[in-house]
Amino acid sequence: MKSHRAHVMLCAGTGCVSNGSFEVKAALEKELAERDLQDEIAVVMTGCNGFCAQGPVMVVQPGEVFYQLLGTKDIPHLVEEHFLKGRPVERLMYRPPVDKIPVPRMSDIGFFKKQRLIALRNRGLIDPEKIDEYIARGGYQGLSKALTEMTPESIVEEVTKSGLRGRGGAGFPTGRKWASAAKHASDEKYIICNADEGDPGAFMDRSIIEGDPHAVIEGMTIAGRAVGAHAGWVYIRTEYPIAMERLNLAISQARDYGLLGADILGSGFDFDIHVFRGAGAFVCGESSALRASIQGDPPEPSAKHIHATERGLFQKPTVLNNVETLANVPEIILRGGEWFAGIGTEGSKGTKVFALVGNVNNTGLVEVPMGTTLREIIFDIGGGMEKGKEFKAVQTGGPSGGCIPASLLDLPVDFDRLTEVGSMMGSGGMIVMDEDTCMVDVARYFLDFLRDESCGKCTACREGVDAMYQIVSRICNGHGCEGDIELLEDLGETIKDTALCGLGTSAPNPVLSTIAYFRQEYETHISERRCPAGVCKALITYSIDAEKCNGCTLCAKNCPENAISGDKKEVHTIDQSKCIKCGICRDVCRREAVLVQ
């Protein structure tokens, strides 16, 4: 391999790509060539770096210099200063929201400092399209150990000892699942990797596959060896084109090296992986619906009297694990179950990847040890609330999860603690909401998503979720009645008890948790016909504060309905009959003269 004196690790995760990282790459290569530096400086495209809020981002190694928000116009200056003259460019560095002093080194940035990477261990350090780079970072060593030094039983034992629990939602102990599948004798068994990540705002699994596809392949192959399976499927949604492309490439590279196929590493063990493209239905993330989809049946959940580990895909014993779960497996095998069990809390071992989104400064992908508090994740890593607003709630666990209020910010995040407070870990979505968020409207948003995605097989979910949506919509539209809150609680509990699959039983969570922690807000909507956060359009009016308005005409110019009138330097007024409550006037006003009530 040619030696370079520096590697530019440029993020090619989906977030940065959509912000133009390939254009930045082209500009970099052109500029490096112009200055005859192409043999000294290598440009490496990596998977998601995690700090998506600041994309496109790059890290220059050695030296770990972190650059953000790059555009093609920044490149000539950057190349001349940093790569030719060795002077890192402060203008392109990260500046924390408070003291604004540029931070050159990646590991000194709050967002990265508190993270611990196991599932994302190769993040930003390898080119996901090169198998040799994965191997150079210890890749396939876990598989090698599992195949040459361990028995299937001892692999299962190691995973059991690690305390690893499923990262896809339910948190079922992985070791127990494997042991069950291993015990059932069959001519064929299957491993399925669930990459049908459907929660709004979640991109953990997507980023793992995009950034380190071999980790998933290695994890699946180890699982195959442990339970005696020789075939695996990755069920991935078509909406993830970059992930799918890199996964397919990784599978073909692994086959070329004999790390998939017959007689892997000369051990006599055969295993191969197929990629199955899902069409992006939320229900297909549910294990039995996912299996039905692969079999060519309508993707509907079925009752689970018999475990999939006994009769699953094509009626054969099947292990279905989530992407992140499988990405943890090679490290567990390599370093031992005890090492993994030493990280995290009593009931939840290891780390968890979260997609941190919403009204927080540092949106992105974070991996922290289980037991890290919500406050640490949102304020230390996430850099606090956007625009200095007040924190109101954090929604965890996707549409099946719940909203957690500010009083519980010091909650250590693990499977059991989140369930105790009426939410759940889910697959790791974390949506941060500020004071301007209406919790009734949030509940309505998730119900709308769920009624749309309900497969319709069981009445409880099909009719019940829709009924809840109608009631919550009514409340948002100013037609809520006395008794609606109780009716929602009653409906919610009934759906929890009677729906067929996990998606149905958890569907009422967003409503029940917002009622539990923000009941007052529902009551204000119903009895006072008022939306305290100023979100629900039917319940708010916009008006102009005569004291503050200086007649700049900015609001009138921007109003799409021409509902604002007033002469220059005179107080303006809003014609309520024309106002569509879009809020543009409030956004453009520089004097905070537009009021919402």
Residue numbers at the binding site for other proteins (CB under 8 A) = 1-7, 9, 36, 39-40, 42, 61-64, 83-87, 125, 132-133, 135-138, 140-141, 144, 148, 256-259, 263, 265-266
Residue 2 or residue 590: which is nearer to other proteins going by CB? 2
Report yes or no: 159 and 329 within 8 Å, Cβ to Cβ: yes
Report yes or no: 384 and 99 within 8 Å, Cβ to Cβ: no
Smallest separation, CB 80 to other proteins (Å)? 10
Residue 2 or residue 100: which is nearer to other proteins going by CB? 2
Smallest separation, CB 253 to other proteins (Å)? 9
Residue 88 or residue 200: which is nearer to other proteins going by CB? 88
Report yes or no: 310 and 180 within 8 Å, Cβ to Cβ: yes
Distance CA 192, CA 516 (A): 37
Angle at which helices 213-227 and 241-256 pack, to 10 degrees? 60
Smallest separation, CB 64 to other proteins (Å)? 6
Smallest separation, CB 90 to other proteins (Å)? 13
Residue 51 or residue 83: which is nearer to other proteins going by CB? 83
Residue 107 or residue 541: which is nearer to other proteins going by CB? 107
Nearest by Cα to 125 from 144, 138, 115: 138
∠ CA 101-112-8, rounded to 5°: 85
Smallest separation, CB 87 to other proteins (Å)? 5
| The token pair that represents 550 in the structure block | 């200086």
Residue 1 or residue 303: which is nearer to other proteins going by CB? 1
Residue 83 or residue 340: which is nearer to other proteins going by CB? 83
Smallest separation, CB 249 to other proteins (Å)? 15
Distance CA 355, CA 530 (A): 33
Residue type, 571: V
Report yes or no: 168 and 322 within 8 Å, Cβ to Cβ: yes
DSSP state of 79: I
Nearest by Cα to 489 from 459, 446, 449, 522: 522
Measured between its terminal Cα atoms, the distance across the chain in Å is 66
Smallest separation, CB 3 to other proteins (Å)? 5
Residue 65 or residue 283: which is nearer to other proteins going by CB? 65
* Length of the chain in terms of residues written: 597
Smallest separation, CB 105 to other proteins (Å)? 10
How many other CB atoms are found less than 10 A from the CB of residue 432? 25
Smallest separation, CB 122 to other proteins (Å)? 10
Report yes or no: 403 and 442 within 8 Å, Cβ to Cβ: yes
Residue 46 or residue 321: which is nearer to other proteins going by CB? 46
Smallest separation, CB 132 to other proteins (Å)? 5
Distance CA 583, CA 541 (A): 10
Residue 81 or residue 523: which is nearer to other proteins going by CB? 81
Residue 214 or residue 392: which is nearer to other proteins going by CB? 214
Nearest by Cα to 352 from 325, 330, 380: 325
Report yes or no: 236 and 273 within 8 Å, Cβ to Cβ: no
Provide the pairing of β-strand 190-195 with 318-322.
Answer: parallel
Residue 577: CB partners within 8 Å, gap ≥ 6?
Answer: none
Q: What is the dihedral of CA 358, 364, 367, 368, to 10 degrees?
A: -50
Residue 265 or residue 281: which is nearer to other proteins going by CB? 265
Report yes or no: 118 and 369 within 8 Å, Cβ to Cβ: no
Report yes or no: 75 and 38 within 8 Å, Cβ to Cβ: no
Nearest by Cα to 217 from 195, 185, 201: 195
Smallest separation, CB 47 to other proteins (Å)? 14
Residue 80 or residue 380: which is nearer to other proteins going by CB? 80
Smallest separation, CB 355 to other proteins (Å)? 25
| The token pair that represents 125 in the structure block | 């350090």
Element (DSSP H or E) covering residue 18? helix 14-18
At residue 114, the 3 state secondary structure works out as coil
Smallest separation, CB 5 to other proteins (Å)? 4
Residue 40 or residue 245: which is nearer to other proteins going by CB? 40
| The token pair that represents 457 in the structure block | 């097989």
Question: How far lies 458's CA from each of 493, 503, 511, 590, in Å?
Answer: 16, 11, 20, 52
Smallest separation, CB 49 to other proteins (Å)? 13
Distance CA 330, CA 144 (A): 10
Report yes or no: 495 and 504 within 8 Å, Cβ to Cβ: yes
Residue 85 or residue 387: which is nearer to other proteins going by CB? 85
At residue 195, the 3 state secondary structure works out as strand
Smallest separation, CB 225 to other proteins (Å)? 14
Angle at which helices 439-453 and 509-523 pack, to 10 degrees? 150
Q: What is the dihedral of CA 148, 154, 159, 162, to 10 degrees?
A: -110
